[in-house]
Each structure stands twice: as C-alpha cells, then as structure tokens.
Amino acid sequence: ALFGRVLQRADCLRHCLERRLGAAPSAHRVSHAIRRDFEQREPYNYLQVAFFQLKKLDQAVSAAHTFFVANPQHLQMREDIEKYRRMSGVKSDNFQDLEAMPHWEAYEAGVQHYNEDEYLQAVARLEESLTEALSALEDCRALCEGPWEDEDKKDMQPGLYEAIAAHYTQVLKCRQQCVLEIATKPGGISATEDFIPSHLDLLQFAYSQVGNQALAAECAASYLLFYPMDEPMLEKMKQYHAELGEDTAVTARESIQHYVQRSLMEKKLIYYAVEHLGGTFNDPDLWTPDDLIPENLKETHRENQEKQKQETLDVEEREKRGPLLFEGIAVTMDSQQMNGTQRVVFDRVLTESECKDLLRLTKAAVEAGDGYRARRSPHTPHERFEGLTILKAMQLAQNGNVDWRDAKLLLQASEKTRKIIESYFTPGKKLYFSFTHLVCRTAVDEEQEGRMDLSHPVHADNCLLDPEGQECWREPPAYVYRDYSGILYLNDDFQGGGLFFTGMDTVTITAEVHPKCGRLVAFSSGKENPHGVWAVSRGRRCAIALWYTHSQEHAEQERVKAEELMERNDVEQDRPDGEESQGADHCSSSSSKAPVPNSRDRPMSWGHKPGSDRTRHPKMLRVRDEF
C-alpha cells in the first residue's frame, strides 16, 4: 500500500511537470551554479546593462536596484546606483526591488511601528508578515522534493531501503533549512534568530498594548510552544489568565501548533538517521529541545566542533606568532576568522577612560590640526576630516592648548600598538613607526541623503591596486616602505565607518571590522589586504591611524621630536620648586601653568609585562611621509 501511493504520486508529479515544463526530463533540473546565480540575482546585473543600452532607463534602474539589494557589498553596483540617482529623468519610484519578499517588507514595517509605539499598525503588519512567512516556508519546503543531489556518488548506498532513507533524509534536512532561507533578508549574511517565535513575542506585547488580551494570550501560548520554560512569558500567561478569567480557555494558534509538531517530528527522524546511518545535521533552530538529541550524538557533536576549530587555525601564522606583551588584551579575530592572511583584531588595548582622554585631544584638531581644520575630507565631499600628528599634539601641549597628559597618552598608546603588532606578526624583527595620525571623520548631516560613496575607497597601503589586472604595483607614489598597518579605535557612537577587506577585485568583501573603544585592527600593508572604510553617515568617528616599517631609514621623523618634547616636559615636572630651567629653549607658554602630574602619577591600563622595556626610536630623520 505504501509503495502504491509513492508510485501514484510520482506519476502525478511527472505529468504535472510535463504539462508545465515540457517532456524533457532535465528541463527542470538546473545546475548548482545556475541556481546560485539566480539566488544572488545575477541576471539583474546583466539586465541593467541591457536596459541601459536600449535607453530604457526606468527598467535599468529597477534591475540595478534589485541586484544591489541582494549584493550590497558590490562596490561597482554601488557606484552605478549613485550615477543613476544623478541622471535626469530618473525618479525615486524607479528604485524598486522586483524580487521583494512580502514577509520581509511587512516585518520591517511592523517592527518600525512597534519601536515607535504605534501598536495598532504594528499588529496589522506583523500579522501580515507571519502569514506571508509561513506561506513562503511552504513554498520552500515543496522545492525540497527534487532529485537526489549527492555529488559524491560513492557514498550512496546501493540498496533500495538505504537509497530511500538517504534521499528522504536529504529532503528532511532541506525542509529544516527553509526557516533560515525565509529568515535571511536579501543581501544579509545570516538569518534573523528565532524569526517565527519573535513574531509571536512582538505580537503578544502589541496586542496587550491595544487592549486585546485574548489575542495577546493566544500569542503568548503560541510562543511557549517554542520555549515552554520561558519565565517572563509564563508570568505574562498568569497575568492574561487573571485578566480574562481562570475559566477562559487559552490555546496556541493551530498554525503554530502544526508548525512546531511537524518540525519536531522531522528533527527526531533526522537525528535518528544521523545517529544510526551517519552524516551530519546543522540544526537551524535555537529552540530545539535538548532531550530530542541523542546523548551519544551530543558528545560527538561537541568533539567535531572542537576538531574543526583546531583545523581552521592558520598553523603557519600561529607558529610565527609571538606572545602578547600586555595583560588583559584579547585576540578577537585572527586571519582565519577574517578570511585572509596577516590580519588580526585585538580588544581592550585601551580603557574607556583612556579613549575619553584621547577624544578630548581630538577637539584640538578642529582648531589647530595639521592642515585639515575640519575641512571636507580629501576622499569624499560628504564628510569633514580632522587630523592631528604626534608632533602637533606635543606642540599644542607645550603651548598650553591641550593637557600634557593627553598628548603623552597619544604617544604611549601608539607605542603600545607597535609593541603588540611587532610581537604578534614579527617577533624578533624590529618595527619602526612610518606615520601616526589621530584622525576624525564627521558626517555632513545635510549631504547624507542618497549617499553611495565610501569614507575611504578601497586601496592597499604600500602598492597601487590594479583590480582589472589583479595586481598591486609596489612603486611610487605608493608608500612602498610600509610593512604593517593598524587602526586603534576610540569610539563607536556613530553610524557606518567600519573597516572592510576585499579581494584583489576590490569588490568582493572578505571581512568587516566594527569600531569600538580600545579595538585595534592590524594587518600587513601589501596586496594581500586591500581595504576601505564604509561611509560615516551620522556622527563623528575617531581613531589613531598607524603605519609601521622594518626600514630604519623611513622611521617617523616627527615622533623623535615629539619624544624629545615629552622628555623635556617630564624633566620640568620632576624639577624641585624654585630650580631654574637649564636652557632658554625650555621656556614656553606652558611654563607659567600649574604643574600637571606626569604619567607615573596617572594609573594606566596597560599592565606591561616584564622584559619589554620601551626602545628608543632612532634619530635618523627624513621628510615626513604624510597621510
């Protein structure tokens, strides 16, 4: 009886496909490459060019926008979109997503209403989103019943039952992954966690705010199907029962009951197959009950995770890596996690207090910086740029414009980064500063609408990028002597401004780093690390930009002078009261000010380890290699 039904269904599907797609058995079976291109909306990239050549500008804009929504990291399309916006005849309505997902449009609108306390509108859009999401889930699940797609044919069992089990397990795994597909926004890298349960959580609160306690209780009961031990929701249920009356029956939605029961049944079958027949399963849900997973499979899963972590470490870089010289610093991401080579992110290099002190110092750059004085950035007209060099900071302190402690902290913090990077990347091989720059980029509020450019275009730090030729020419005017680069962030209270790495094509994003106080990103300066900075769309982003070199003759000239000024000030501060200065050049406008405690009186967060005393920079000077 079972196989009779299977044969009937197969015959029904075959006739259905013949009527819709033709008799050829391969007409509906496309390759993985073609499916991937359509998932990434690649055809729209070609369509926008074709429509543009045909002078159908409105359709070209729609095609370009549709592609860009799913590929926001595509820098060439970003530039094309900006060009379209400047063209006469292009209307804002032309920028429409031709592949828009109804549930995502409704979800984003619902969340916006929810955040603005517009709960009546939020309820309507979130209900629409939940309905559309469940419908999209069914469409995705139906597509899972396709042909067997195991490319490794030798692993396919020849027996009838083994073959059926393997194919059916593949279908079940595909169905389970559908929730990730509907929960991933076009252009997004990862899915929204708990996409279906989050709808119910938002709805129960929104319904309670508009006075519909019955539907609020229904949504709460539905949410508890996913997380039956969630204490805040259990408390809500008690409250709803009290308001509605203890005799009032409150049940979960039928559609959600069906969703959860079916998903649990499929998970149970998949875990049984993995346990007894082999294979793996990446469970897409956070709410899967722990007791559903076989105990012996839990241990195997943990072991596989640890083994995978070990295998993914970049062994060669790990062997070359030196010790961290300061207590408390953590490596947040290494080269492997950043999909490249010679890249690393350190956290807790500075404390919050030290970041605030350095931010105070940046205010001096607005009035007495090194030539920018908050003018428009040299890289984009949409931002203002402020810069302060090490020497300028010391001169401002000498003139009494800034606190000596803040200027000294800039010198010490940058020296700390040099020691960290030297030890991590090139232990035993001396690194010198090439240039140090305290910089702030501020968004010009009135010029952010429709902005599509970058705060700093993609480039490499010691060579000239040639994306078309897939080459980077290490020749002037590039700063060919630079070996390593670093950025020490001071704040995160702005929008945009993150660092990103690309491939040699300058288009494919390989890694991103989000700024925050005390975070240091460091990388080699060559063609292996093309990088750029996303636009600062709101607020002010401040960081210390750092470049290092192995070449002693290219050591930073201004740093030597800045150190001399700092040492003179330390001598002045340590001299007993009444003792006159030796040498007229010590007389400055700051000498009449009250003494400022030197760094020994000011606790630092560095926790410097023994055996790593500061090394003086060479006094071989050269013309400053400015930013």
Nearest to 319 by CA among 412, 427, 183, 402: 427
Q: Are residues 367 and 255 in the same domain?
A: no
Backbone angles phi, psi at 601, to 5 degrees: -90, -5
Residue 217 belongs to some domain of the structure: yes
Residue 151 belongs to some domain of the structure: no
Helix, strand, coil share (%) of the chain residues, nearest 5? 50, 15, 40
Any idea what the CATH number is for the domain that residue 365 is in? 2.60.120.620
Residue 9 belongs to some domain of the structure: yes
Residue 173 belongs to some domain of the structure: yes
Residue 38 belongs to some domain of the structure: no
Residue 210 backbone zone (phi > 0: left; psi -120 to 50: alpha; other: beta): alpha
Q: Are residues 210 and 273 in the same domain?
A: yes
Q: Are residues 343 and 249 in the same domain?
A: no
pLDDT band at 318 (very low <50, low <70, confident <90, very high): low
Task: Tell me which residue range forms the domain holding 6.
Answer: 1-30
Name all contacts of 26-34 with Cβ < 8 Å and 24+ positions apart.
Answer: 29/146, 29/147
574, two tokens: 């340590």
In this model, does residue 41 exceed pLDDT 80? yes
Q: Are residues 414 and 525 in the same domain?
A: yes
Q: Are residues 406 and 555 in the same domain?
A: yes
Backbone angles phi, psi at 613, to 5 degrees: -65, 150
Q: Are residues 393 and 515 in the same domain?
A: yes
489, two tokens: 């962030």
> How confident is the model over 359-404, as pLDDT tens digits?
999 887 566 544 445 556 677 888 988 889 999 999 999 988 888 9
Question: Which helix (H) or strand (E) element contains residue 432?
Answer: strand 432-443
Q: Poorest-confidence range of 291-305, 405-419, 538-552, 593-607?
A: 593-607
Q: Are residues 495 and 357 in the same domain?
A: yes
HEC-encoded secondary structure of 591-624: HHCCCCCCHHHCCCCCCECCCCCCCCCCCCCCCC
Q: Are strands 456-459 and 432-443 parallel, antiparallel or unpaired?
A: unpaired
> How confident is the model over 156-176, as pLDDT tens digits?
556 888 888 888 999 999 999
Mark which of 261, 277, 293 sits at the end of a domain.
Answer: 277
Q: Are residues 351 and 461 in the same domain?
A: yes
pLDDT band at 354 (very low <50, low <70, confident <90, very high): very high
Helix axes 102-115, 119-143, angle to 10 degrees: 150
Q: How far apart are CA 270 and CA 174, in angstroms?
A: 11
Residue 438 belongs to some domain of the structure: yes
Mark which of 509, 543, 564 sits at the end of a domain.
Answer: 564
pLDDT at 565: 92
Residue 624 belongs to some domain of the structure: no
Mark which of 260, 277, 294 sits at the end of a domain.
Answer: 277
Residue 271 belongs to some domain of the structure: yes
pLDDT band at 616 (very low <50, low <70, confident <90, very high): very low
Q: What's the chain's average pLDDT?
A: 83
Backbone angles phi, psi at 386, to 5 degrees: -125, 135
Our answer to whether residue 14 is catalytic in this structure is no
pTM of the model: 0.54
Q: Are residues 403 and 481 in the same domain?
A: yes
Active-site pick, 125, 418, 482, 541: 541
Q: Are residues 429 and 535 in the same domain?
A: yes
As for how many domains the chain has, the answer is 3
Q: Are residues 272 and 336 in the same domain?
A: no
Q: Are residues 350 and 487 in the same domain?
A: yes
Range picked from 188-202, 424-438, 602-616 for highest mean pLDDT: 424-438
